[in-house]
Structure 1
Amino acid sequence: MRAHPMAGDSLLAGLLLLLDLLLYSSISESGAEPPAWYIAVPLDIAVVAPLVFRRKRPLIAAYLVYVVSYAHSALDLGAAGAIALAVSLYSVLVYVGRKHGLIYAAALVIAAVAAALPRSQPDWGVQLSFSIFAIAFCWILGEFMYARRAYQRELEARLHLLETERDQAARIAVAEERGRIARELHDVVAHSVSVMVVQADGAALALQAKPDLAGRALRTISETGRGALGELRRLLDVLRNDSGDGEPRVPQPDATALGDLAERIRGAGVPVDLRLDGELSALPAGLSLGIYRIVQESLTNTLKHAGAGAHAAVRVQLTGDQVEIVVRDDGAGRARRLEQVGATGPVSAAPAPGRAPAPRLSVAGGNGVIGMRERANVYGGTLEVGPAAGGGWQVRAVLPVRLGS
Structure 2
Amino acid sequence: MRAHPMVGDSLLAAALFTVDVLIFLLEDLPMPAWYVTVPLDLLLVLPLVIRRRHPLWSAYLVLLFALPPNLLRLGLAAVFCTAIAIYTVVVYAGRKQGAIYAVASMATHLLAEFVMAEPDWVANAVTVTLIFVLCWVLGEYVGARRAYHAELEARLHLLETERGQAARIAVAEERGRIARELHDVVAHAVSVIVVQADGASYMIRSNPELAERAVQTISETGRGALAELRRLLDLLRGEGRSGEPRVPQPDAATLAELAERVRGAGVPVHLEVDGELNDLPAGVSLGVYRIVQESLTNTLKHAGPGASATVRVRQAADTVEIEVTDDGGNSGALVAAGESTEVPGGNGLIGMRERAHVFGGTIEVGPAPGGGWRVRASLPVRLAP
TM more than 0.5: yes
Q: Match of 2:32, SS?
A: coil
Structure 1 residue corresponding to 2:107, chosen from 105, 110, 114: 110
Matches within 5 A, 1:198-209: 198-209=195-206
After superposition, residues 47-196 of structure 1 pair within 5 angstroms as 47-196=44-193
> For 2:289 and 2:44, how far apart are their aligned partners in 1?
71
Residue aligned with 1:117, SS: helix
CA distance in 2, matches of 1:249, 1:216: 32
In 2: Cα distance, 1:74 partner to 1:238 partner? 88
Contact 1:13 1:51 in 2 (8 A): yes
Go from structure 1 to structure 2 and tell me whether the alpha carbon gap of 1:238 and 1:13 turns closer, same or farther (over 3 Å shift).
Answer: farther
- Report Cα offsets for 1:96-154 as digits up to 9, x if no partner: 10000000011012112212223333322111111111111011000000100010010
Equivalent in the alignment of 2:8: 8
Q: Distance in 1 between matches of 2:7 and 2:98?
A: 24
Closer, same or farther: CA 19–249 of 1 in aligned 2, 3 Å: closer
Q: 2:282 aligns with which of 231, 245, 269?
A: 231
Check if 1:25 corresponds to 2:76: no
**1:156 is matched by which residue type in structure 2?**
E
**More off after superposition, 118-127 vs 139-148:** 118-127
Say if 1:188 and 1:228, in contact at 8 Å, map to a contact too: no
The structure having more radius of gyration, on CA atoms, is: 1
1:362-381 mapped onto 2 (5 Å cutoff) = none
1:37 and 2:34 are equivalent in the alignment: yes
Rounded Cα–Cα distance in structure 2 between residues aligned with 1:33 and 1:145: 39
Cα displacement (A) at 1:235: 4.9
Distance 1:194 1:60 in 2: 81
Deviation at 1:222, TM superposition (A): 8.3
CA RMSD of aligned residues (A): 3.1
Question: What letter corresponds to residue 153 of structure 1 in structure 2?
Answer: A
Question: Where does residue 382 of structure 1 map in the other structure?
Answer: none
In structure 1, how many angstroms separate the alpha carbons of the residues matched to 2:203 and 2:220?
19
The letter of the residue matching 1:12 is L
Bigger mean CA deviation after superposition, 147-156 or 207-216: 207-216
SS at match of 1:55: coil
AA aligned opposite 2:284: R
Q: In the comparison of the two structures, how many residue pairs are matched?
A: 247
Residues 10 and 237 of structure 1: is their aligned pair in 2 closer, same or farther, counting only changes over 3 Å?
Answer: farther
Contact 1:5/1:55 (<8 A) preserved: yes
Residue in 2 that maps onto 1:294: none
Structure 1 counterpart of 2:261: none
Structure 1: which 5+ runs fail to align?
A: 251-405
- Retained in 2: the 8 A contact 1:234–1:249? no
Equivalent AA in structure 2 for residue 94 of structure 1: V
Q: Does structure 2 conserve the Cα–Cα contact (< 8 Å) formed by 1:44 and 1:72?
A: yes
CA deviation profile, 1:300-359 (whole Å, cap 9, x unmatched): xxxxxxxxxxxxxxxxxxxxxxxxxxxxxxxxxxxxxxxxxxxxxxxxxxxxxxxxxxxx
1:171-202 per-position Cα deviation (integer Å, ceiling 9, x unaligned): 11111111111112121122123212331232
1:4 positional shift: 1.4
Correspondence for 1:371:
none
Q: Which moved more, 1:228-237 or 1:101-110?
A: 228-237
Q: 1:218-273 CA deviation, whole Å, 9 max, x = no partner?
A: 586589689685323345678999998863669xxxxxxxxxxxxxxxxxxxxxxx
Question: 2 CA distance for matches of 1:212 and 1:193?
Answer: 22
Q: CA deviation at 1:211?
A: 4.1
How far apart, CA to CA, are the structure 1 residues paired with 2:150 and 2:188? 57
Closer, same or farther in 2 for the Cα pair 1:74/1:120, shift >3 Å? Answer: closer
Secondary structure in structure 2 of the residue aligned to 1:3 = coil
Determine which structure has the larger helix proportion and give its number.
2
Larger CA deviation: 91-100 vs 76-85: 76-85
CA distance in 2, matches of 1:139, 1:20: 24
* CA contact 1:192–1:228 (8 Å) conserved in 2: no
Residues 61 and 223 from structure 1, CA distance in 2 versus in 1: closer, same or farther, beyond 3 angstroms? closer
**Does structure 2 retain, via aligned residues, the 8 Å contact 1:189–1:228?**
no
The amino acid that maps onto 1:7 is V
Partners of 1:202 and 1:170 in 2: CA distance: 48
* Preserved contact between residue 102 and residue 132 of structure 2 (Cα < 8 Å): yes
CA shift for structure 1 position 216: 7.2
Kindly indicate whether the alpha-carbon contact (under 8 Å) linking 2:71 and 2:116 is maintained by their aligned counterparts in 1: no
